[in-house]
Chain A
């Protein structure tokens, strides 16, 4: 147990401080190369460097490699490779925006290391009722899980600090759940994601000094997805990001096709004092943000706070689910 605590402290520190130290350097490099985009929710023409995925993936991968030295298990190796592949898909999309189908299809291939390394268990666990063995369906679930997790986190990355803050909350909830389930190695692996996203949040929070871009959001999503599979906590992980899942579901069901956010009407517009209000476009997609501001316009900070509260609520539900995993009716 002592070795696990030492590993947890070391990898958490590496994940946090590598992202914390690298991101300001990345901001300067991106500004120098004029790799900036407009923050559409700010008055005037506020330009923000993008993408910040490089510092995120370095933080996650460096800490996971150190963890692999402590515990050389195939599950951690699968996390490392899938995170790198998820980042690669994102950086391609950051460099040259691809069609709506590119990311889901490319991310499906990112699941290959999990299958090749055999870092999964084909029993799907449910709280209260036990588990069901579905090897065929489970292989399909693995292929779908990474694109779903990646695009879910990517689709919620619409306001300053939301993606990094939300994944921080979900990751800590997942860590606690894994500790409850006594899956300590993967709990420590989840800490790497939690602390890397927490460090990035320092620069991503309102007002953003950097945006994660597709590379950052997909790295977060792919890492979260692979942890859910190798940690054998698929249901708990889905519950922890339920607001983001609902956001994706609302978006897809209203647009009725797989498409990029930039290809659709903006679901949000601004009042004179630059608060967020629902867009007047009848065919604009329905999103979580649009639901939150449906009753009255809110400032960006108020909407972000509300999303975090929803994230914490889901996190608590995920932890309760972890407790229920040990109970059978």
Chain B
């Protein structure tokens, strides 16, 4: 069982790296500030919603 826990930890680590990469690549470049003068907080909130809907679609 202990070996499996190490394997689980390692898998989680890989998932964190890959998940972080997806977030940077997919959500990071999105910006509405190029088109309209928008508050950074609202821009960030829109990114979260888009990121979440992408995540939900993939599932």
Contact = CB atoms under 8 A, between A and B. Distances in A.
Contact of A133 (B1, B9, B44, B45): B44
Interface in B1-43: 1-2, 5-6, 8-10, 12-13, 16-17, 20-21, 23-25, 27-28, 40-42
Interface string B37-59: 00011101101100000000000
Which of B10, B21, B28 has the most chain A CB atoms inside 10 A of its CB? B28
Which of B13, B20, B25, B48 has the most chain A CB atoms inside 10 A of its CB? B20
User: Contact size class for A?
Assistant: 20 to 34
Nearest to A138: B44
A92 to B, nearest CB: 33
A243 B9 contact: yes
Contacts of B47: 134, 136-137
Contacts of B45: 136-137
Interface of B: 1-2, 5-6, 8-10, 12-13, 16-17, 20-21, 23-25, 27-28, 40-42, 44-45, 47-48
22 contacts: A122-B44, A126-B21, A126-B23, A128-B17, A132-B23, A132-B28, A134-B44, A134-B47, A134-B48, A135-B41, A136-B42, A136-B44, A136-B47, A136-B48, A138-B44, A235-B16, A235-B20, A238-B16, A291-B1, A291-B5, A292-B5, A321-B13
Interface of A: 122, 124, 126-138, 235, 238-239, 242-243, 246, 288, 291-292, 294-295, 306, 310, 313-314, 317, 321, 324
